[in-house]
Structure 1
Amino acid sequence: MSDTVNADPAELAKFSELAHRWWDPESEFRPLHQINPLRLDWINALCPLSGKRVLDVGCGGGILADSMAHKGAEVLGVDLASKALRVAQLHALETGTQNIQYREVSVERLAQEQPASFDVVTCMEMLEHVPDPGSVVRACAQLVKPGGWVFFSTINRNAKAFMLAVVGAEYVLNMLPRGTHEYAKMIRPSELAASCRDAGLEVLQTKGLEYNPLTRRYWLSWNTSVNYLFATQRIV
């Protein structure tokens, strides 16, 4: 299987061009820096990361992967954007982050190599950027051990999500680079839930991620109408 089968070259180029700004908390990646503590604490509360073998799929510059390693996990971050991976590796070297590795490989290829090898798999803000998100979900399910946890986050597909996540975030507030998200690639929770069930994953918890542009504050809620997160477990 080619590592570029389930990847959009334009998407990879888009994130590679911004790679050098990944760890600047005031850059285009400010939202990732702001939401990272929320998603990290949510994951760690459901499945304490210390001592776990963790895979971060679509790790980009390593913001979540690095923070999970600091929680005591042994982390592998994978991505197909070469420049972003180099930024992640450099950051780990500069900050002395222990127990973390990065690799340029597709999740489907890794699933063939290392099935049922990880206690936890995370795939955050990535599914809406690939041609076949179902393939990624299946690969994540193959990679986690029976009874292990798989966490996803993505963006709903509806008029509200389009107005807030695309028009608002990219064109009005300039929180994200224009063209970051395509409406057609967004995924309804019902669609992601179906993909999870088909892959042998049970959805145990769903959370929404909300944002107030006036206070510039994010928080987790039960409102999944725009950004949302799934906590799933591989059925034994």
Structure 2
Amino acid sequence: MTVNADPAELAKFSELAHRWWDPESEFRPLHDINPLRLEWIDAQCPLAGRRVLDVGCGGGILADSMARKGASVLGIDLAAKALKVAQLHALEAQTPGIEYREISVEALAAEAPASFDAVTCMEMLEHVPDPASAVRACAALVKPGGWVFFSTINRNAKAFLFAIVGAEYVLGLLPRGTHEYLKFIRPSELASHCRAAGLGLSQMRGLEYNPLTRRYKLSGDTSVNYLLAARKA
């Protein structure tokens, strides 16, 4: 099986792995948005007692918080250094109900289909060569009636200005080169991938950043960052 991953992307995040849990590091945006996305997920699919998969978990920021909500969480990623950081943090913080594996989502889908109550795939689709393949694998991994949650970046002029020029070059919220514009995904494209994979769309929300207050909020504006919730029939 050809692995659906870009070696350059994996290397990029591996180089920064030791900084995942520093809230003032390059990963500050992930720390800042995590409470918003956690509550959004939990509001639609209460996490306590659920078996949850976090795809592209990186250093484990979302996976750890979902476990603390009472979920049994498996985090998967192909960036080995980031996974080691996630595992070390779970040990140090004594996070209950969490484990990590270095495996692709497609390989896990072949190994353990329909095994999870919910699957999260946040800030990952814009970093893989074939996002539709990742969506299909996420759909295969969730049980009938289960939830799949995605977040990614829209592809338009405003998204280029805000997510690349603004976030990477002007405000310095992210390292330069974090994102490639042509890998951004329009909501219509992601919705189409979901439908083709047997997922019914439930909700879409935008994620906005105010550079003056340095705060994020969920909104109806999906023109830049957005989250999509889908459910398997």
1:93 match: secondary structure: helix
1:24 match: secondary structure: coil
Correspondent of 1:110 among 102, 108, 115: 108
Q: What corresponds to 2:29 in structure 1?
A: 31
**Structure 2: which amino acid aligns with 1:189?**
P
Deviation at 1:156, TM superposition (A): 0.1
CA RMSD of aligned residues (A): 0.4
Indicate yes or no: 2:46 matched with 1:48: yes
Determine the C-alpha separation between the residues in 1 that align with 2:228 and 2:128: 18
Deviation at 1:109, TM superposition (A): 0.2
Determine the C-alpha separation between the residues in 2 that align with 1:76 and 1:119: 12
Determine the C-alpha separation between the residues in 2 that align with 1:96 and 1:13: 28
Determine the C-alpha separation between the residues in 2 that align with 1:169 and 1:226: 11
1:72 match: secondary structure: coil
Map 1:1-236 → 2, pairs under 5 A: 1-2=1-2, 5-235=3-233
1:26 match: secondary structure: coil
**Structure 2: which amino acid aligns with 1:61?**
G
TM-score when normalising by structure 1: 0.98
Determine the C-alpha separation between the residues in 2 that align with 1:216 and 1:13: 29
1:76 match: secondary structure: strand
2:85 match: secondary structure: helix
Determine the C-alpha separation between the residues in 2 that align with 1:203 and 1:10: 32
Determine the C-alpha separation between the residues in 2 that align with 1:63 and 1:114: 24
User: Which string of whole-angstrom CA distances, capped at 9 and with x for unpartnered residues, describes residues 107-141 of structure 1?
Assistant: 00000000000000000000000000000000000
Could you tell me which runs of 5 or more consecutive residues in structure 1 were left unpaired when the two chains were aligned. Answer: none
Deviation at 1:210, TM superposition (A): 0.1
**Structure 2: which amino acid aligns with 1:197?**
R
Deviation at 1:181, TM superposition (A): 0.4
Deviation at 1:188, TM superposition (A): 0.1
**Structure 2: which amino acid aligns with 1:132?**
D
**Structure 1: which amino acid aligns with 2:58?**
G
User: Which string of whole-angstrom CA distances, capped at 9 and with x for unpartnered residues, describes residues 21-45 of structure 1?
Assistant: 0000000000000000000000000
User: Which string of whole-angstrom CA distances, capped at 9 and with x for unpartnered residues, describes residues 152-188 of structure 1?
Assistant: 0000000000000000000000100000000000000
Aligned residues: 233
